[in-house]
Amino acid sequence: MQTRVLVTGAGGFIGHHLVKYLKQKGYWVRGVDIKEPEFEPSPADEFEVLDLRRWDNCLLATRGVDHVYHLAADMGGIGYITAYHAVIASNSAMINVHMLEAARRNGAEKFFFSSSACIYPQYRQQDPDLTPLREEDAYPADPEEGYGWEKLFMEKLCQYYYEDYGFKTYVARFHNIFGPLGTWEGGKEKAPAALCRKIAITKLTGNPEVEIWGDGEQTRSFCYVDDLVEGVYRLMQSDYHQPLNIGQDRMVTINELADIIANIAGIEIVKKHVPGPQGVRGRNSDNTRLREVLGWEPQISLEEGLARTYAWIEEQVRQKLAREMDISSASV
């Protein structure tokens, strides 16, 4: 019989890519989100718009499925997650506690939870040239306020459900995921999408200045969404029930990230460093355990992933500028 899976957050960036991947693998897929996907229709067999903060909706969402990929969360880049600690932590806590228990009660066999590199202690990430983060570095805990604390608690809850009920939970810590069909404007976008947008605007309008929050010497690693989805799927086929990093282990500065994107766009830019939320000073993934557990690690280079992402975002910016021109010429 065809395996039935639920993807929550299926109206969002990673969830939508995951639905496409699972459909290609031949699964029957139910997508659930509080909104429809923004940029193209979902290929899910069923798509239900539900608010997963509510217990009754979590019971509905999890009915009759074998595997649950739980990605729904109140989520955004560093600008968003540092601005709304209370609302982010309480929204995601309600979603997560209800989803885990509803999946168990409805008899799901497996439950995946998307955690984050934001659970790693801030005291280990104060240097741009930091030692890459191993899974065991999570404790003593000092995660990102709000979003990070909530993710860390849910990691523990997944552990308790596995230990106390034998419910097969799987946890991955995502390290800054990017790609086409992700949020690229509006305040929730992360650095790769924000810089693609700003550089596309430079290319299309001719103003060479690109604003970068901070001095641009802060570091991160960035993982292309196709790799992430592959890693999540592989983890769900494994018998590994502790948190696992999924990310790239190539660390770059934000200035270098901007240079790579400008090179892809084929333009010269002038970086303008401005005050803005910066989060940790440095962050990178140690992929030793990922290689041991899955015999695999992300394959797509930063340049290749950014080329695909930039092309999509430049097109979004082009369309938006064209719409604005239409409106202003209609109003004269």
**Interacting span for ligand NAD (CB under 6 A) from 50-58, 202-210, 288-296, 305-313:** 50-58
Give me the least distance between CB of 95 and ligand GDD, in Å please.
Answer: 15
- Pick from 194, 229, 246, 294 the residue near ligand GDD by CB under 6 A: 194
How far is the C-alpha of 297 from the C-alpha of 275, rounded, in Å?
35
Q: Exposed, middle or buried: residue 1 (CB in 10 Å: 0-12, 13-18, 19+)?
A: exposed
Tokens representing 313? 């975002």
How far is the C-alpha of 315 from the C-alpha of 305, rounded, in Å?
16
| Residue 11 DSSP label | T
Phi, psi of 98 (to 5 degrees): -70, -40
How far is the C-alpha of 162 from the C-alpha of 316, rounded, in Å?
43
- Pick from 7, 22, 29, 34 the residue near ligand NAD by CB under 6 A: 34
**Residue 149 within binding range of ligand NAD, rule CB under 6 A:** no
What track of x and - describes contact with ligand NAD for positions 183 through 222 (by CB under 6 A)? Answer: x------x--------------------------------
List beta partners, residue 31. 7, 47
Q: In the range 26-65, which residues lie near ligand GDD by CB under 6 A?
A: none
Between 254 and 317, name the residue whose CB sits nearer to ligand GDD. 254
Residue number, nearest CB to ligand NAD: 12
**Residue 44 within binding range of ligand NAD, rule CB under 6 A:** no
Tokens representing 321? 């500028």
- Catalytic option among 21, 147, 161, 224: 147
Tokens representing 169? 């939970």
**Interacting span for ligand NAD (CB under 6 A) from 10-18, 22-30, 207-215, 320-328:** 10-18
- Pick from 36, 45, 48, 51 the residue near ligand NAD by CB under 6 A: 51
List beta partners, residue 246. 174
Tokens representing 79? 């600008």
List beta partners, residue 147. none
How far is the C-alpha of 172 from the C-alpha of 243, rounded, in Å?
5
Give me the least distance between CB of 114 and ligand NAD, in Å please.
Answer: 4
- Pick from 7, 12, 213, 302 the residue near ligand NAD by CB under 6 A: 12
* Amino acid identity, position 65: V
| Residue 96 DSSP label | H
The answer to whether 21 is a known catalytic residue is no
Cα-based distances in Å from 285 to 232, 241, 255: 16, 19, 19
**Interacting span for ligand NAD (CB under 6 A) from 49-57, 127-135, 235-243, 278-286:** 49-57
Interface residues with ligand NAD (CB under 6 A)?
A: 9, 11-15, 33-35, 51-53, 71-75, 91, 95, 114, 116, 174, 176-177, 183, 190
Q: Using CB under 6 A, list all residues that contact ligand GDD.
A: 75, 77-79, 81, 116-118, 147, 174-176, 189-191, 194, 212-214, 218, 220, 254, 276-279
